[in-house]
Amino acid sequence: MIKLYNSSKIRVEPVFSHIKKEGQWKRFLMWVAARTATKNRQGLFKKSFANDKVINVCFSDGAGGRELAIAPNPDLLRFLLSDSGMDLMMKSKMYKRLAKKSPEKLNEPEKARLRLFDVATRREELLRVNVGGDLLKEYIFEGLDYPDVTIITDAIVLLIEGKLTESHLTTHTSWLETRDQMIRHLDSAIACDSFRNKQVFGMYIVGAENDESILKSGRKPYYEWGNYEQIEYWRASLPQYDYNTPEGRDQIEKRRAGYLGFSTWNDLGNALGKIEVPLDTASGNVLTI
């Protein structure tokens, strides 16, 4: 069932379908460079990127287009199978829920995962698989990542997460109590072999306070942007890297450097010459941003 104020249906899909139809990728990238300049502390997102050839754009467009699926960072998958990773996952709601279930109510994948939380069993099991290569699906504790929009050019990968009436940002996964959605996007993409020679960036596009859909919904989103200024938040969302080592610090800072902050749908509409979008998913009413 589609929610009445689904951000994917009433913002991401119509806005990026408009940009695609009108061939406005250069104008869009120029807007990103201008609007995120104060957020991008190292000035890595250059206006010159707007001149790069756009190789591919992936988003759900209602006409067969889909979000790009990005594999989880192998470093994270290996870490989660370590003693420290298992200790961390034991704090998750998923582990606590499964641990409370009686054995006869667990399915086979759930049983296989729970067995790994026993140290002796885990070490014996891991001797039978290639931890550095393909893992059995029961040994994978983070799935594919799906940014709302992925723009790939000759030089960069830009990951976009759209929000509208969601009350909070997504800050966890099933097995990790702290695994921020945007940090996960950046982490997965930077670790992706296909993007090895590209700079990776990520940003949010959210509703303004006077957005008519937000006002009609009666919801007031509260996004804790200050979290992204805290190094401890990044460290908690990237548990596979030790910030106290040169290599771990480099990996975390590389992901921090790619975070561009946020802007609004209304600001984007103004930059591109106004865009008609649905007010909601049911009424058929439209508004111009």
Assess whether 48 and 160 both reside in one domain: yes
- Is the pLDDT assigned to residue 132 strictly greater than 50? no
Q: Are residues 155 and 61 in the same domain?
A: yes
DSSP the chain: ---TT-HIIIIIHHHHHHHHHHT-HHHHHHHHHHHTTTT-TT--S-GGGGGS-EEEEEE--SSS--PPPBPPPHHHHHHHTSHHHHHHHTTSHHHHHHHHS-GGGS-HHHHHHHHTTSHHHHHHHHTTS-TTSPPPGGG--S--B--SEEEEESSEEEEEEE-SS-SS-----SS-SS--HHHHHHHHHHT-GGGTTSEEEEEEEE--TT-HHHHHHT------GGGGG-HHHHHHH-TTS-TTSHHHHHHHHHHHHTEEEEEEHHHHHHHHT--EEESSSSS--EEE-
Do residues 64 and 89 both lie within one domain? no
235, 281: one domain: yes
Report the pLDDT value the prediction gives residue 35, as an integer from 0 to 100. Answer: 79
**Has residue 232 been placed in a domain?**
yes
Check whether residue 66 and residue 163 sit in a common domain: yes
Considering the chain, what percentage of its residues have pLDDT values greater than 70? 93
The mean of the pLDDT values for the chain is 90
- Is residue 94 located within the same domain as residue 223? no
**172 domain residue, yes or no:** yes
Same domain, 42 and 179: yes
197 pLDDT exceeds 60?
Answer: yes
Residue 2 lies in a domain: no
Could you tell me if residue 77 is inside a domain? no
Task: Kindly state whether residues 49 and 95 are assigned to the same domain.
Answer: no
pLDDT tens, 213-252? 888 888 878 899 999 999 999 999 999 999 999 999 999 9
Domain that holds residue 114: 82-139
Mean pLDDT of 115-143: 78
Q: Residues 113, 191: one domain?
A: no
Looking at the fold, whether 42 and 108 belong to one and the same domain comes out as: no
Q: Is 17 within the bounds of a domain? A: yes
Quote the pTM value: 0.93
pLDDT above 90 coverage of the chain, percent: 70
* Radius of gyration from C-alpha coordinates of the chain: 21
Both 221 and 274 in one domain: the answer is yes
Q: How confident is the model at residue 176 (pLDDT cuts 50, 70, 90)?
A: very high
Q: Sort strands 156-162 and 199-206 into parallel, antiparallel or unpaired.
A: parallel
Identify the domain boundary among 120, 139, 158: 139
237 lies in the same domain as 167:
yes
